[in-house]
Amino acid sequence: MKPHIQLFAGIALAALTTIATTSCTDEIKLGSNALEKPSGSTVTKDTVFNSPIYTEQFLNSIYALQYYGLPYNANCGTSASPWSGKFDQLTDCWVMHWDNNTIYKAYYSGTLDANQDPLLSYKNDNVWKAVRAAWLLIENVNDVPGLSEEKKQSFIAQARCLIAARYFDLFAVYGGLPIIDHSYSGTEGAYDMPRATLDSTVTFMVDQLDEAINSGALPWAYNGNTTETDATNNTGRWTKAGAMALKAKILTFAASPIYNAAQGYYGGSSEAEQKHMVWYGDFKQERWEKALKACQDFFDALNANGWYELTQAESKTPDGYRQAYRMGYAYQGSKEILHSTRVGGIDAFKAGTYTWHQWLDNPARQNCLPTEEYVEMFPWADGTPFDWKSDSIKGKVEGAKGQLFYKYEKVRGGFKKTASRDPRLYEECIVNGQMTSLDWTTGKSNGDVYELWVGGADAGNFVARYDETSKKIVKTEALSKRYATGYDQNKYYMNQDYLRKFTQWVYLSLDEMYLMYAECLAQCDRLDDALKQVDIVRARVGLKGLALKNPSLDLHNNKQNLINEILRERACELGLSNNHYYDMIRYKRGDWMTKKLHGLITYRMEQGPTGGYIRQYIPWRGANKDGGAKEPTRFEYEKFTIQNRQHYLWDKDPQSQEVAKWYLWPFPKTEINKHYGLVQNPGWE
């Protein structure tokens, strides 16, 4: 006989007489502030669902339990804790250089086990709390007196979206999950909640979304056309567009090689594989066709209903393209955001508990440092692939005349400076020579330049230093310091330009949908149609067509090359959004996990007394600038292998089980030991 279980991954199964979902927000009366109970009384289920106001506030409290991808507060779950890290820091694009967080201590060291919480906790990230609360609402909302039928159906549809989204959050990193299809009171006796197959989990999520989509209760968008669709009070609520996008994302993930393959990713012999909890058990092309159909349905609805669109540049300049890209994800009124989550009001730096800026600046404990591998993914400004042999940088790393990130053309009285790379590079990363600010209103770069050379005002000695005694460069790669790879992050940071902006996390976006659509088209052998979708995204930042600028890849005919390019485009377009991590897992890219990563040392070059160029290990800001010296325009570069710290998986066999086990994360041993049917993922037993 199965034992009585008092807690299943955060679902309160003991007898509950009160409703109290905790919240991490201080906005619009979410979470623990949502019920407004009379002083001295207890808020019960009967109280909540006896008032339209309390019921809506209860729904709001579930919204407060959604996934939020920026470090916020350790009390808000593992994923929002500044002590954890970000998914993309596990890829080849970003690294963490602070040694007191989960990324550095457990993942880079290879010591993560089933006794620790991964970056998204199975039991400590409010997932099951949100699921239970959503089912409580669905089961009781029809009994709320005074609540219109239209509102009831809307609340139910939103609750189903919330359930599906929280399930997807776990599904993407754990695989098949127990199916919770109603609330539990705690009086049922013994509980049997086995881990479901992958197919059942996908079907459950999609069914919830289909119910919401087909109910007619969700608006396509909060476009302000009616009182009920006013964006001011509804931004962040689920819409039909968001539900259709999430359905497409779930089906795309499910059709991907990790789950849709002729063999399980760990070899096929583990219990979870044998029971089809981490793959379907076979490959079927129809799964890609199903994902493609979901993408097509979304874009058919977009064509019919409008509203959502990519933010376009007002000026066809590098700065104009940068501003358009930035406003697309950072501006709360952006029409390319399909669903977003939030935990508070505005980012006021060191006010309150929001830590993204506070911990990034001083000390730099929140750094997401770009790698050289990531920077090289971004093409030249016209869309031509970057390579070190390009004429733009004179054929080699050493001796490049400052053209790596900017072109400096001599003009009367000085020089003309033009960004030489994909505008998205400067929005994802901070690079040498980049101005410190981009005005949100005018779209013009301004301020001083970032000095990321050895001895520069910003990077200083964080990357490397010149040793006067040995007359050699010593690589430092300093921990808890910015620029330690020779670069820094700009996404969601923007030199504090994000201060006093709403701290939203973009959960689903239109640019992601275009690239997802392209991927599904390519997987269904419609390569020309796929290229059209990619080029829509590239055109927004002024890049020429993907096939046009990559003639050697034969993208009209070579399916694998096109898929690889779509994944690269996704990395450039969707930085620090978890999507590159998802892509690594979906495509079982053990090679991304095992290759050594690099940074870049930059040297400032100045003309010496004999006419040749020599290295200068001094800042420009200060004495040089004050003395009238022009901004440095000539640099040398040196790539270096990241040492601090090297990842446990580097140089491992990318096809080995030792690497493959990291594709999905371990369930907590404490949950396995409760014997309600949870089966551990392969390699973590």
DSSP string across 77-131: -STT-TTT--GGGGSSSEE---SSSHIIIIITTT---TTS--SS-SSSSSHHHHH
Alpha-carbon distance 465 to 156, whole Å? 60
Render pLDDT for 465-519 as a digit per residue (tens, 0 to 9).
999 999 999 999 999 999 999 999 999 888 777 666 777 899 999 999 999 999 9
**Number of independent structural domains in the chain:** 1
The confidence band for 220, taking pLDDT boundaries of 50, 70 and 90, is very high
Among the ranges given (109-113, 138-142, 489-493), the one the predictor scored with the smallest mean pLDDT: 489-493
Which pLDDT value is given to residue 393?
Answer: 61
Nearest one of 158, 156, 161, 163 to 141, comparing CA atoms: 156
Lowest mean pLDDT among 5-14, 120-129, 257-266, 514-523: 5-14
Contact 24, 343 (CB under 8 A): yes
Asked whether residue 161 is domain-assigned, the answer is: yes
Tell which residue, 171, 167, 166, 222, has the closest CA to residue 198.
171
Convert 496-560 into a string of H (helix), E (strand) and C (coil). Answer: HCCCCCEEEEEEEEHHHHHHHHHHHHHHCCCHHHHHHHHHHHHHCCCCCCHHHHCHHHCCCCCHH
Which percentage of the chain shows pLDDT scores above 90?
76
Lowest mean pLDDT of 318-327, 391-400, 518-527, 555-564, name the range: 391-400
Domain annotation covers residue 593: no
Q: How confident is the model at residue 527 (pLDDT cuts 50, 70, 90)?
A: very high
pLDDT in the model for residue 77: 81
Please tell me the pTM assigned to this model.
0.93
Instruction: Give yes or no for residue 14 having a pLDDT over 60.
Output: no
Nearest-angstrom CA–CA distance, 389 and 393: 7
For residues 124-143, average pLDDT: 96
Q: pLDDT (tens digit, 9 = 90+) per residue, 436-467?
A: 999 888 889 999 999 999 999 999 999 999 99
**At 231, is the pLDDT very low, low, confident or very high (cuts 50, 70, 90)?**
confident
Residue 21: what are its φ and ψ, rounded to 5°?
-90, 130
User: What's the whole-number mean pLDDT along residues 664-672?
Assistant: 97
Inform me whether the pLDDT recorded for 675 exceeds 60. Answer: yes
> Is 194 inside any structural domain?
yes
Residue 22 confidence (pLDDT): 40
- Assign 27 a pLDDT band (cuts: 50, 70, 90): very low
Task: Name every residue whose Cβ is closer than 8 Å to that of residue 58 and which is 6 or more positions away in sequence.
Answer: 19, 21, 34, 35, 48, 49, 133, 137
Measured distance CA(476)–CA(36) in Å, rounded: 54
Asked if residue 371 is part of any domain, the answer here is no
Q: Does residue 57 sit within a domain?
A: yes
- Decide if 624 is inside a domain: no
Query: What pLDDT shows up at residue 324?
Result: 97
Question: Has residue 228 got a pLDDT over 90?
Answer: no
Residue 295 resides in a domain: no
Give the mean pLDDT of the chain: 89
Residue 322 reports pLDDT greater than 90: yes
Q: What is the pLDDT of residues 183-198, one digit of tens each?
A: 987 666 556 789 999 9
| Structure tokens given for 434 | 């980049």
Provide the residue type at 431 as one letter: V
What is the SS3 assignment for 355?
coil
Nearest to 504 by CA among 314, 312, 362, 336: 336
Query: If DSSP codes are grouped into helix, strand and coil, which group holds residue 162?
Result: helix
Q: Pick from 67-81, 190-204, 249-263, 328-342 the range whose average pLDDT is largest.
A: 249-263
Range of the domain at 12: 1-67+120-215
Q: Is pLDDT at 356 greater than 90 in this prediction? A: no
- What pLDDT is attached to residue 396? 47
The pLDDT of residue 7 is 32
- Is the pLDDT at 4 greater than 70? The verdict is no
Q: How confident is the model at residue 232 (pLDDT cuts 50, 70, 90)?
A: confident
Report angle CA 264, 266, 269 to the nearest 5 degrees: 75
- Of 369, 383, 381, 382, give the one whose Cα is nearest residue 406: 381
Let me know if residue 152 belongs to a domain.
Answer: yes
CATH of the domain at 148: 1.25.40.890
Helix (H) or strand (E) holding 291: helix 285-305
Choice between 358 and 170, residue whose per-residue pLDDT is larger: 170
pLDDT of res. 166: 98
Give phi and psi for 598, each to the nearest 5. Answer: -135, 160
What pLDDT does residue 283 have?
98
Distance CA 355, CA 663 (A): 29
- Mean pLDDT of all residues in 272-287: 98
pLDDT given for residue 40 in this prediction? 40
The predicted structure's pLDDT at residue 63: 96
Mean pLDDT on 609-634: 93
Residue-level pLDDT at 93:
98
pLDDT score of 632 more than 70: yes
